């Protein structure tokens, strides 16, 4: 690709606007991409923008308004929706404008840098959020006792805030190296305003390598291990439940099925992220290491095609998550219907009140103890047992009292409140 600093053998006939653009088209690139590519890309981008904005805004509204969705995992999905909205708002319109008018860039140096920064920040925020909720599910499924120490919405909010802080600092180098470039008038040092172009011309070689490794290769490796281990654990639990179906509480089977559905949905989110972002990182590396090595015409042709494909999948990543939630999560569908359609589905209402009902049912079965003792509240972590003993979240003052109870094996995920 021709750089703005490359010498140009073209002649500027005059300072008339048409002559300037003819000169720039000869020295650099056409001001507008080919119509055969421009129209389909425009249609795809407009559809992606509308669907992505509506879908992610609806996700945010549903999670905020539905108390049954106020869980750590859904808070992470809320953060993911915010990241997708930022990507659509700051990235897609300016990208589409560039396809129609590659130069001059008219939005100024500040927005140019912000554009590069937001693109990288949403990249980091998305993958780190996915890693965070995947790790949370891994602990809940494979290490339920340890997951107790990480339970709570406040902790999830702190982790999300840390994710965005890390993403901000990781994106700063891209803001530094993104700027508006100009082509000087032939034979002078005066810049041509018509040649203004927002981009990253001078990028340290290590920057792309670090970005691809930290924001894609390493996280995808971690996610592959986590979801493999979770799949094995759930598979083993399903086999055990099948072999001892007469001894297993029905609630365990129901909770196991629910947990499997959640895992499938989150797995689909991870797979969708990989499919949508892999072309983006491949194109980055190809552009960085293929230029000057591969024959120019072949490099330019392949890079251009890969660029448009990567761009479409890049923004498509902001659309697929709301679709996955609707397709794979019945609870989200019911919450969506109640939020926007006013549908009072009995299944949704029962899911909202399920914890309360389970708590009341379990409490009624507990033996009465000394009422002068301090009330003890604890939450069962994923219904795990060790040698028949239920693992409970309990205050230190009530630990001994709780351990003295003989519990019937409870429903996975139920909440137990010990009486005073």
Same domain (yes/no): 352, 218: no
Phi then psi for 34, rounded to 5 degrees? -60, 140
> For the sheet containing 389-392, what is the strand order?
389-392, 376-386, 415-418
114 and 252 both lie in a single domain: yes
In a domain, 5, yes or no: no
Indicate if 256 and 125 belong to the same structural domain.
yes
Q: What is the pLDDT of residues 175-199, one digit of tens each?
A: 888 888 888 777 777 778 877 888 8
- Give which of 406, 357, 403, 345 is closest to 376, Cα–Cα: 403
Q: What is the predicted pLDDT for the residue at 240? A: 60
Residue 398 lies in a domain: yes
Cα separation values, 237 from 139, 390, 392, Å: 15, 17, 20
Asked whether residue 156 is assigned to any structural domain, the reply reads yes
> How many residues are given for the chain?
420
Inside any domain, residue 66: yes
* Same domain, residue pair 281 and 155: yes
d(CA 359, CA 81): 32
- Do 89 and 148 sit in the same domain of this protein? yes
Task: State the pLDDT at residue 239.
Answer: 65
| Whole-angstrom distance, CA of residue 28 vs CA of residue 48 | 30
pLDDT at 371: 39
Asked whether residue 310 falls in the same domain as residue 358, the answer is no
Give a yes or no: residue 173 inside a domain: yes
In a domain, 402, yes or no: yes
267 and 362, same structural domain? no
**Distance between CA atoms of residues 192 and 183, nearest Å:** 6
Which CATH number goes with the domain that contains 88?
1.20.1070.10
Residue 80 CA: distances (Å) to CA of 73, 131, 363: 11, 11, 37
By percentage, how much of the chain surpasses pLDDT 90? Answer: 13
> In this structure, are 111 and 255 located in the same domain?
yes
Instruction: Look at the alpha carbons of 140, 146, 148, 152 in this order and tell me if their dihedral is positive or negative.
Output: negative
For residue 192, report the phi and psi dihedrals to the nearest 5 degrees. -90, 115
Compute the average pLDDT of residues 331-348: 72
For 240-297, what is each residue's pLDDT tens digit? 654 444 444 444 555 556 667 777 777 888 888 889 888 988 888 888 787 777 777 7
What is the model's pLDDT at position 6? Answer: 59
Residue where a domain stops, chosen among 317, 341, 365: 341
Does 133 score more than 70 pLDDT?
Answer: yes
CA angle 252, 257, 259 (to 5 degrees): 90
pLDDT in tens, 363-378: 344 444 443 333 333 3
* Whether 59 and 162 share a structural domain: yes
At 318, which helix (H) or strand (E)? helix 296-328
DSSP summary character for residue 1: -
State the burial class of residue 339 (Cβ atoms within 10 Å of its Cβ: 0-12, 13-18, 19+): middle
Per the structure, the count of domains in the chain is 2
Average pLDDT of the chain? 73
pTM score, two decimals?
0.72
pLDDT at 405: 33
Name the residue range of residue 352's domain: 346-418
Q: Is 274 exposed, middle or buried (0-12, 13-18, 19+ CB in 10 A)?
A: middle
């Amino acid at each position: 690709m021709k750089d703005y600093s490359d010498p140009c053998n073209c002649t500027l006939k005059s300072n008339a606007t048409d002559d300037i653009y003819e000169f720039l088209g000869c020295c650099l690139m056409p001001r507008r991409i080919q119509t055969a590519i421009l129209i389909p890309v425009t249609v795809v981008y407009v559809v992606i923008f509308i669907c992505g904005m509506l879908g992610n805004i609806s996700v945010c509204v549903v999670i905020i308004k539905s108390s049954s969705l106020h869980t750590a995992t859904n808070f992470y999905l809320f953060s993911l929706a915010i990241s997708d909205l930022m990507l659509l708002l700051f990235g897609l319109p300016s990208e589409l404008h560039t396809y129609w008018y590659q130069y001059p860039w008219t939005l100024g140096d500040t927005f140019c840098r912000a554009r590069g920064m937001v693109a990288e920040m949403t990249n980091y925020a998305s993958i780190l959020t996915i890693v965070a909720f995947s790790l949370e599910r891994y602990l809940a499924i494979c290490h339920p006792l340890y997951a107790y120490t990480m339970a709570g919405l406040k902790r999830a909010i702190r982790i999300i805030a840390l994710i965005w802080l890390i993403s901000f600092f990781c994106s700063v180098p891209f803001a530094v190296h993104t700027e508006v470039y100009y082509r000087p008038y032939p034979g002078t040092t005066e810049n041509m305003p018509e040649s203004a172009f927002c981009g990253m011309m001078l990028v340290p070689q290590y920057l792309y390598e670090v970005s691809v490794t930290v924001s894609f290769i390493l996280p995808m490796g971690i996610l592959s291990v986590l979801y493999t281990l979770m799949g094995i654990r759930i598979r083993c639990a399903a086999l055990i439940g099948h072999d001892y179906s007469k001894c297993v509480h029905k609630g365990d089977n129901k909770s196991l099925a629910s947990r499997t559905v959640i895992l499938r949905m989150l797995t689909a989110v991870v797979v969708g992220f990989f499919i949508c972002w892999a072309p983006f990182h491949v194109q980055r590396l190809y552009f960085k290491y293929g230029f000057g090595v591969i024959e120019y015409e072949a490099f330019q042709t392949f890079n251009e095609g890969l660029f448009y494909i990567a761009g479409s999948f890049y923004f498509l990543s902001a659309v697929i998550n709301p679709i996955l939630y609707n397709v794979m999560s019945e609870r989200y569908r019911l919450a969506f219907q109640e939020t926007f359609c006013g549908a009072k589905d009995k299944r949704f209402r029962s899911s909202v009140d399920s914890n309360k009902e389970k708590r009341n049912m379990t409490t009624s079965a507990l033996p009465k103890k000394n009422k002068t003792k301090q009330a003890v509240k604890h939450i069962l972590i994923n219904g795990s047992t060790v040698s028949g003993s239920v693992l409970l979240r309990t205050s230190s003052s009530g630990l001994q009292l709780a351990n003295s109870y003989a519990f019937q094996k409870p429903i996975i995920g139920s909440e137990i409140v010990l009486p005073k």
